[in-house]
């Protein structure tokens, strides 16, 4: 089975996991799909499941910033 980078703007072929990243996304029907980002895309991009738009490739910084905001919200809720 041959994989290509999940980034539609990249055509790198899967050779190995070194310096790349594999994402496992579980869907409501309990199926799991695999998405791979090559070593050039993985540091900059992330694969996420969006409830309306489906699977999306987004900048990693946006995901990290959202996680930081959610962590702060969760912490403030527990403190209240």
- pLDDT tens readout for residues 38-47: 999 999 999 9
How many Å apart are CA 57 and CA 62, to the nearest integer? 11
26 strand-pairing partners: 32
Q: What are 67's two structure tokens?
A: 């996680």
- Predicted TM-score of the model (pTM): 0.73
Q: Tell me, what's the pLDDT at 27?
A: 86
CA atoms within 13 A on the CB side of 64: 7
Give per-residue pLDDT as tens, 8-42. Answer: 999 899 887 788 999 999 888 899 999 999 999 99
Q: Tell me, what's the pLDDT at 51?
A: 79
């Amino acid at each position: 089975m041959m994989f290509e980078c999940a980034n539609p703007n990249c055509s790198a072929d899967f050779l190995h996991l070194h310096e790349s990243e594999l994402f496992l996304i579980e869907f409501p029907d309990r199926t799991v799909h695999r998405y791979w980002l090559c070593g050039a895309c993985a540091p900059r991009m992330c694969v996420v499941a969006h409830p309306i738009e489906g699977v999306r490739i987004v900048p990693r910084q946006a995901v990290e910033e959202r996680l930081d905001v959610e962590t702060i919200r969760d912490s403030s809720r527990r403190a209240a």
